[in-house]
Amino acid sequence: MTHRTAFMIRALLAATSALAALPAAALEPAEVFAKVAPSIWEVRVSNAEGQPLALGSAVVIGDGLAVTNCHVLRGGKQVTLKRGNASFGARLLYPDVQRDLCQLRIADFHYPAVSIVPSSMLVTGQKVYAIGNPLGFDLTISEGLISSLRHDDNGALTAIQTSAAISHGSSGGGLFDSNARLVGITSRMVSAVYGQNLNFAAPAEWINDVPARAQKALAERAAAASAVSVNTPSATAAAAATPQPRKRGELGPKSQAGFAEYLQKPWPKVFVAADGDVFRYAWGQNAEFRAMSWCQEQYRNCSVYARDDTIVEAK
């Protein structure tokens, strides 16, 4: 082989590698929708009597598997995935309540799984599409940008902020990039009363962690329950497992202590109370939204007890 031939071969290989490294050409919105629509389903949640409780969305992540937000399933006994005339019963397989992602198992459910984008590939300003079932309007697509990538104090990504419109019923739906890959699971929005185009999604790569995190949480709860059963009567353990309903306008001892701390915080601020003598408070920008979101992710029957230094919840 001559030096010239070898040089040409190396140049050709380098050019081929460079082309392979280039991102795929962006799809048109209609193409994104057509590609991922078979993987987006409506979630209907009912009580034991079949009465409807909640409506949301779900994304197919594997054969017989889908993911949605845990808050969509809260309090439900029956879960159904529906689209058009097709309907499938589902059961909860793995709950990751802390991150608000729940994996569902669906029998005889064979639909294409989405492709997941690592969070390291996301950038603020890139175009994204939210696809779900807002207010029950099935398979609705909205266009927007990644407005921001929200991180905690340790630099870990905690939420994807987007201007793509979502509404009640969008929870558990998909946020996709321009190559029809899953970026996040749409989970919450800021009401128009407090802001506009402020919507949030859980990073899609969290889906991979759901089984392990759910099993770890289950083991921790089992260990805690075992310790309670050894040290207290069974009736006390049962009472501890079920938060006592809070009377409107009243706070338990722990919440009262928390409220005393809250009163020392600057305005604007809000104090949110829930069943079981638990609470959340926040101050600063979007205080009410943040406090309610945090509360609803963990507790039941969250409501605003006070705004600034004024109690607004009457007995």
| Residues near 98 by beta carbon (within 8 Å), at least 6 away in sequence | 213, 217, 297, 298
Per-residue confidence (pLDDT) for residue 223, from 0 to 100: 77
Whether 303 sits among the annotated catalytic residues: the reply is: no
Task: Mark whether 110 is an active-site residue.
Answer: no
Q: Is 266 helix (H, G, I), strand (E, B) or coil?
A: coil
CATH number of domain containing 178: 2.40.10.10
Domain containing residue 201: 119-208
22: pLDDT confidence band, cut at 50, 70 and 90?
Answer: very low
What is the pLDDT confidence band of residue 240, given thresholds at 50, 70 and 90?
very low
Is the link from the previous residue into 268 a cis peptide, with omega within 30 of 0? yes
Tens-digit pLDDT profile for residues 106-162: 999 999 999 999 999 999 999 999 999 999 999 999 999 999 999 998 999 999 999
Of 49, 77, 106, the one marking the end of a domain is 106
CA nearest neighbour of 146 among 132, 156, 160: 160
Nearest-Å Rg of the Cα atoms of the chain is 23
pTM of the model: 0.66
Q: Is 100 a catalytic residue?
A: yes
As a whole number, the mean pLDDT across the chain is 85
User: Same domain for 259 and 283?
Assistant: yes
β-bridge partners, 272: 280, 304
Catalytic position from the list 142, 147, 171, 187: 171
Residue 62, classed as helix, strand or coil, is: strand
Q: Which of 106, 133, 153 is the last residue of a domain?
A: 106
Of 61, 59, 34, 29, the closest CA to residue 142 belongs to 29
**Residue 242 is assigned to a structural domain of this protein:** no
146 part of a folded domain: yes
| Residue in 71, 96, 178, 255 annotated catalytic | 71
The per-residue pLDDT for range 28-70, each reduced to its tens digit, is 999 999 999 999 999 999 988 889 999 999 999 999 999 999 9
Percentage of residues in the chain having pLDDT higher than 70: 84
Last residue of a domain, one of 106, 131, 161: 106
79 forms bridges with which residues in the sheet? 45, 90
Catalytic residue among 57, 100, 147, 167: 100
Between 84 and 14, the higher pLDDT residue = 84
Residue the block writes with tokens 């029998």: 107
Is 294 a domain residue?
Answer: yes
Same domain flag for 94 and 60 = yes
SS3 readout for 151-173: ECCCCCEEEEEECCCCCCCCCCC
